[in-house]
Amino acid sequence: MAVSSGPVYEVTHKIDRAIVADFDLWLHEHAEEMLSVQGIHRVNIHVAGDTDDGSAMRVSHYHFDNDEHLATYLDGPAATMRLEADRQFGEQFSVSRRVLHRAGEFHENLKPESKCLNCGTTLAGQYCGHCGQRAQNRLISIWELIRDAFGDLLELDSRLWRTLIPLTIRPGKLTRDYLEGRRARYMPPFRTYLVLSIVFFLVAFFDPTEEFGVFLNTAEPSPAAEQNNPSPTQEFRDGVNDGLTAEGDSDEDDSEFVSPESATPEQVAGSDQGVSIQIDRDGTTANRNCDDIDAEDLPEWMSAWMTADRLQAMCERVFADDGKAFAGKLLDNVPAALIALLPLMAFILKILYPLSKRYYVEHVLFVVHFHAFVFLILTLQILFARLTSLLTLSGTLATITSVAVTLYIPVYFFRSMRRVYQQHWFVTFLKFVVLTLAYTIGLLVILMITAALAAFTI
């Protein structure tokens, strides 16, 4: 077969699976139309493998006689043909284009029985018809690596923004579209959940000045400044420590806990083993005795495992360093605890909608999208609060934003239920109340179990 040395105009289409049949029909009609363009002597259409997001892929090669004919086409009929495709299929497909030269050399080097290096399928062109990989290796540029790494972030029409925007302002839309088959335009649900959860925990509980202060040469903050502007991680730990203090025997509110390691000899003198010392600001002392723990009131099945000796050892480990190790362990386990909450809430939805004819996994999808939204909105709220603090703006603005987010989350939840399950608002409201109550109880139980595991594993 004679092969022209002219340029090859390569067009790659990523197509929503829902329109593959209609798109293939259009593409073959378009190929016939392209053969009437001056300078095009051959058109090849390759069926490539599906992409990672489930989209179909078609690769078209338009062989031109020379570069002048290609330039004439790009300056003229190309724009009209692109508008026609956009008008007919809209956002259900995406296109990338490039020009290949020395196509003749490629085909001369390609042996008739060449095999794909990836899957072993016999090749009939530049791409494997089974997996879509190129028939020959080629080096990639640094720019292509950067584009692959940050393309979704920098492209306004990428799947990242097409996912985050409706996730934030259009309750239930992602779930509804996914269940109806419109999936290729969005990020996969569980990938969205994992990415947003990681970002949330990094933003909420990671303090660079605390973790890398030695590298940043930050000065040690004064106790007064640290008290007025605590980090989110420190706030969480303080909350845990306050809860531990509230369970003690002290009658003073302005007490300060002192661990045995940091106590002076005078403070330790006269104390028994297993006793934590608490020193009030007025100089008086109060004892927190881990020996007083009583396991007799626990249920029989629990007391057989949580003996008095184990509870005492746990108590001493928790109070040994002001609860810092316990708080850190609890923070490490919270993400896994929230994942465990997903199937539980999906089961409650399955009970609340017995006649919806939806599979259990569809309810899981609803909960996954809602949790992803919560991570996203809380991350934005935290970043806004830190921005107002950095710009020394009024704290009232951050407070108003926090209240607005607190009110928006249940409203979003209710509207998501309405859009996905499409029941009357009053029936949806009753189920919303039941689900919210179950969600609160489930969250508390999961966190209590997580706290117990953290206490026994520090």
**Residue 217 located in a structural domain:** no
Q: Which of 138, 159, 182 is the last residue of a domain?
A: 138
One domain for residues 336 and 426: yes
- Which pLDDT score is estimated for 102? 58
pLDDT level of residue 230 (50, 70, 90 thresholds): low
Cα separations in angstroms, 268 against 151, 247, 273, 304: 61, 21, 10, 34
User: b or e along 132-154 (b: 16 or more beta carbons within 10 Å of the residue's beta carbon)?
Assistant: bbebeeeeeeeeeeeeeeeeeee
The amino acid sitting at 55 is S
One domain for residues 178 and 40: no
Tell me the mean pLDDT in the region 185-189. 86
pLDDT level of residue 434 (50, 70, 90 thresholds): very high
One domain for residues 130 and 278: no
Q: How far apart are CA 11 and CA 19, in angstroms?
A: 18
In tens, the pLDDT along 135-166 reads: 655 555 676 666 666 655 555 557 788 889 99
Q: How far apart are CA 293 and CA 19, in angstroms?
A: 67
| Pairwise pLDDT comparison (440 vs 296), residue with the higher score | 440
Q: How far apart are CA 372 and CA 435, in angstroms?
A: 18
One domain for residues 313 and 340: no
DSSP string covering 302-333: HHTTS-HHHHHHHHHHHHHTTTHHHHHHHHHH
One domain for residues 408 and 356: yes
Q: Is the pLDDT of residue 289 over 50?
A: yes
One domain for residues 78 and 14: yes
Mean pLDDT: which of 53-62, 274-283, 310-319, 426-435 is highest? 426-435
Burial of 248 (0-12, 13-18, 19+ CB in 10 A): middle
- Which pLDDT score is estimated for 429? 94
One domain for residues 184 and 291: no
Residue indicated by tokens 């609803």: 366
Pull the structure tokens for residue 305.
Answer: 């495992």
In tens, the pLDDT along 319-343 reads: 776 667 777 777 777 888 888 889 9
Mean pLDDT score of the chain? 74
Of 27-31, 244-248, 307-311, minimum mean pLDDT range: 244-248
One domain for residues 82 and 13: yes
Residue 285: phi, psi to the nearest 5?
-120, 155
Q: Which of 305, 320, 335 is the last residue of a domain?
A: 320
Pull the structure tokens for residue 46.
Answer: 């390759």
- Which pLDDT score is estimated for 207? 63
**Residue 255 located in a structural domain:** no
- Which pLDDT score is estimated for 324? 73
**Residue 337 located in a structural domain:** yes
Q: Which of 289, 320, 351 is the last residue of a domain?
A: 320
pLDDT level of residue 249 (50, 70, 90 thresholds): very low
- Which pLDDT score is estimated for 411? 95
**Residue 241 located in a structural domain:** no
One domain for residues 35 and 112: yes
One domain for residues 451 and 360: yes
pLDDT level of residue 358 (50, 70, 90 thresholds): confident
List the CATH number of the domain containing 35.
3.30.70.100
**Residue 235 located in a structural domain:** no
**Residue 20 located in a structural domain:** yes
Residue ranges making up the domain that contains 265: 260-320
Residue indicated by tokens 């050892």: 313
Count of domains for the chain: 3
**Residue 341 located in a structural domain:** yes
